[in-house]
Structure 1
Amino acid sequence: MRVLVLGGDGYLGWPTALHLSDAGYDVAVLDNLARRGYDEELGVDSLVPIADLETRVTAWEQVSGRRLACYVGDLLDAEFVLDTVREFAPGAIVHFAEQRAAPYSMIDRAHAVYTQHNNVIGTLNLLFAIAETDPDIHLVKLGTMGEYGTPDIDIEEGWLEIEHNGRRDRMLYPKRPGSFYHLSKVHDSHNIEFTCRVWSLRATDLNQGVVYGQQTPQTARDERLATRLDYDAVFGTVLNRFVIQAVLGQPLTVYGGGGQTRGLIDIRDTVECIRLAVEHPAARGEFRVFNQMTEAMSVAQIADVVAEAFPGPVHIDHLDNPRVEAPEHYYNVKHTGLVELGLQPHLLGDTLLESLFDIVATHKNRVESEALQPQIRWRAPVDQG
């Protein structure tokens, strides 16, 4: 099968492309390289140096003997999207090509508008391209567990059976996201479900938890194949940030009391989840949802795991939470779909955090310490006039 990976130069898109290629799929990557531009805007680079896309593609061919087709362009360019889908003729499209950081979307009006326009319109252009070229293409779309928010009931896998005034129905699980970024993912989900229902497209929406880690078996084969390791308070994941702070001898910065619970997933499980979704496609007209996480922990528990695993003293600090979120909440997520397809999860307690500590130690001189501290707050804009 031919698989087109959108956002194939990114943190998850790149290792996913290699994982699929290594599994025998004919893979193409598409990217507009915007994520590298965010580095320039924010003045913070990936902790692990990453090669340019052309070097990466060449390195993979040298290491594996398999060639990745490469397209550089923007999903906001509808004609480019249509032409690419027609030319490559994929059986599946994996969609990572969105602005992915909640803090980035909350900087100000311009960043909120950019995030929603980029993510929602790009996905709409893709849906039209699929419908116009081959409605049988299976769309595998990366969503986020943040779409759900933190409801005081169990979180089902995308759908909810309800009874109201004596009648029963099945509807999309209610969404209560916590940032303009997460809202953009909700809009995506609704648009994709609509096109599955009305145009008989087929799609799998993967609501993913917080991803941690930097290496997969494929990226570890050559340093030119390395994917990003983001640590800053805008794009960095909480666990990666804690690991870096531990290595630097800095306190682990827990927002608030640390009672906020997050779904977690190892990067190796992320790429395998994508393969499983591609290999077992949704039916025509089906909008299928999997909660792509393997376990849940509070932020305080994550800090404790890192502190216990690190071979040295670790101090934990509690900062004022820059986000608007419940300090503690109920969180029980159903996530059986991918396990039923064959996922064998790596759990954080079983993960060799030592390898991540070693990666960080090798590149610790690249850390901009001030970037670890939160600068963006979830507050309403104030008229300064």
Structure 2
Amino acid sequence: MKIMILGIDGYIGWALGLRLIANGHDVIGVDNFYTRKAVREVGSDSALPLPSMETRIKEAKKVFGKEIQFYNLDIKNFAKISELIKRYKPDAIVDFAEQRSAPYSMVDAEHAIYTMHNNIEGTINVLYAIKQFSPDTHLVKMGTMGEYGTPKFDIPESAFVNTSINGKEDLITVPKWGGSWYHWSKVHDTNDILFANKIWGITATDIMQGPVYGTRTKEIVNKKLFTRLDFDGVWGTVINRYCVEAILGMPLTPYGKGGQTRAFLSLEDSVESLKRLIENPPNKGEYRVVNQFTEIYTVMELANEVKAIAEKLGINAEIKPIENPRVEAEQHYYNPERNVLPKLGILKPSRTLPDEVYAILSDLKNYRKRLEKYRDVLMPKVKWRD
């Protein structure tokens, strides 16, 4: 298959590109390197040294025998992204080309507006380019389980739900309640893709993914193939952040009561799930929702897991909850459905959480000196009510 990955320089984007070429697919990668700049903006960097795109592409060709075709461009430029889609007419487009940090979107008005502008405009450009130049392309949009918030109902794996309002029944879109400007931008993406599906028949898979953790997939076999790993208070996801805190001898810092419950999956399981969804598209003209996760934990449970594994490695770790910078429920019901991925063979985690945390800590131990200078960026500085 011919697959275009928008945002291929990112954490999941690069790992997915490797998985696809290792399995014989042709990959066209697009990125404008904004995440590298934005992470530097908050005084941080990737925990693992991140090679240049040129270095990684050369190494990938050496290891896997296929070259990723790369284009440095911003998908907000409709002329450029539409020309690229017209040229390649890919079987699938995977859209990771979005500002992906909730805290970054909450810094101030400028960052909130950038998040909305970048994410929504980019999505609409891709939708119009597919409609005009490659109508058979399957759009795979990376959304987030955070679009739903923490509802008291089971989160369905569908776009619509029957409901009754004042005694009248109707079919409505599943209610969403994002927890940041970033999450609301993803809700708007979902609505825009639903609308494009309705009026143009665009084939789409809308992935509601939980937080991802891990340093490696089976294709990341050496340092030249590293993907990024963010850990700071703005860009880092919770398990990756805990692991860096442990390596630096800092307390693991759940926010508030630590009862926030989320659906997680490893980087390995994320890219394998994406690969199978790409290789098994929905019917032409169908809009498919996928809740993409393999495990459900509270953030306090995760802290205890990281603490236990760190101590097996001789790392003394303590847990010290801190004031929650976010506005969110710290204890709540959480039960998303999961039907699509099991039918594609993703039944359980490929490795247990303790095994994966052990691998992360083992990788990070080699870069402790690199991480020392970033101690100050681990604590949250962005607060939702400030």
Q: Tell me the secondary structure at the aligned position of residue 254 of structure 1.
A: coil
Higher mean C-alpha deviation, range 209-218 or range 33-42: 33-42
Report the Cα distance in structure 1 between the residues aligned to 2:122 and 2:33, rounded to whole angstroms.
14
The answer as to whether partners of 1:3 and 1:90 remain within 8 angstroms in 2 is: yes
Amino acid at match of 1:161: V
Does the CA contact (< 8 Å) of 1:196 and 1:284 recur in 2?
no
Q: Does 1:354 align with 2:355?
A: no
Aligned partners of 1:197 and 1:286 also within 8 Å: no
Letter of the 1:26 counterpart:
D
* Aligned match for 2:382, one of 347, 371, 376: 376
Contact 2:309 2:354 in 1 (8 A): no
Partners of 2:381 and 2:167 lie apart in 1 by 49
**Counterpart in 2 of 1:76?**
76
Structure 1 segment 166-205 matched on structure 2, within 5 A: 168-205=169-206
2:367 aligns with: 363
**What is the aligned partner in structure 2 of residue 319 from structure 1?**
322
> 1:348 & 1:105 partners in 2: Cα distance?
32
Name the structure 1 match of 2:124. 124
1:207 positional shift: 0.6
1-structure distance, mates of 2:279, 2:167: 40
1:366 positional shift: 1.5
Distance 1:319 1:293 in 2: 27
Cα distance, 1:299 vs structure 2: 0.7
Q: Are 2:39 and 2:235, in contact at CA under 8 Å, matched by a contact in 1?
A: no
State how 1:91-110 maps to structure 2 within 5 Å.
91-110=91-110
SS at match of 2:253: strand
Q: Which amino acid aligns with 1:144?
A: T
In structure 2, C-alpha distance between the alignment counterparts of 1:113 and 1:292, rounded to whole Å: 28
2:272 counterpart residue number: 272
Deviations 1:195-224 (A, max 9, x none): 0111010000111101000101111x2211
1:350 Cα deviation after fit: 5.4
Matches within 5 A, 1:238-249: 238-249=238-249
Matches within 5 A, 1:273-292: 273-292=273-292
Deviates more, 1:4-13 or 1:243-252: 243-252
Shift of residue 160, structure 1, vs aligned partner: 4.3
Query: Equivalents in 1 of 2:276, 2:169: separation in Å?
Result: 32
Question: Deviation at 1:341?
Answer: 1.4
Question: Map of 1:1-385 to 2, 5 A cutoff?
Answer: 1-164=1-164, 168-219=169-220, 221-310=221-310, 311=312, 312-346=315-349, 348-349=352-353, 351-367=355-371, 368-379=374-385
CA gap of 1:249–1:335, structure 2 versus 1, over 3 A, is: same
Tell me which amino acid in the other structure corresponds to 1:351: D
Indicate the RMSD between aligned Cα atoms, in angstroms. 1.4
Q: Which runs of 5+ in 1 are unaligned?
A: 381-385
Q: Give the unaligned 5+ runs of structure 2.
A: none
What per-residue deviation string (whole Å, max 9, x for no partner) do you get for residues 218-267 of structure 1? 11x22111001111000001001111111222110111010111110100
Q: Secondary structure at the match of 2:56?
A: helix
C-alpha separation between the residues in 2 aligned to 1:167 and 1:276?
A: 40
Contact 1:161 1:168 in 2 (8 A): no
Aligned residue pairs total: 379
Counterpart in the other structure of 1:383 = none
Query: Secondary structure of the equivalent of 2:94?
Result: strand
Structure 2 CA distance, aligned partners of 1:342 and 1:23? 17
Post-superposition offset of 1:169: 4.4
Contact 1:159 1:170 in 2 (8 A): no
| 8 Å CA contact 1:136, 1:284 repeated in 2 | yes
Question: 1:12, 1:267 within 8 Å by CA — same for their partners in 2?
Answer: yes
AA partner of residue 356 (structure 1): I
Give the Å deviation of 1:166: 6.2
SS in 1 for 2:359: helix
2:10, 2:363 → 1: CA distance?
A: 19
Shift of 1:345: 3.2
> Is the CA contact (8 Å cut-off) linking 1:47 and 1:364 kept in structure 2?
no
Residue 172 of structure 1 and its aligned partner are, at CA, apart by: 2.2
Displacement of 1:356: 1.0
Contact 1:266 1:348 in 2 (8 A): no
1: distance between equivalents of 2:195 and 2:286? 10
C-alpha distance in 2, partners of 1:378/1:144? 19
Cα offsets for 1:74-93 (capped at 9, x unmatched): 01100001001011221110
Q: Report the TM-score, using the length of structure 1 for normalisation.
A: 0.96
Q: Tell me the amino acid that sits aligned with residue 20 of structure 1.
A: L
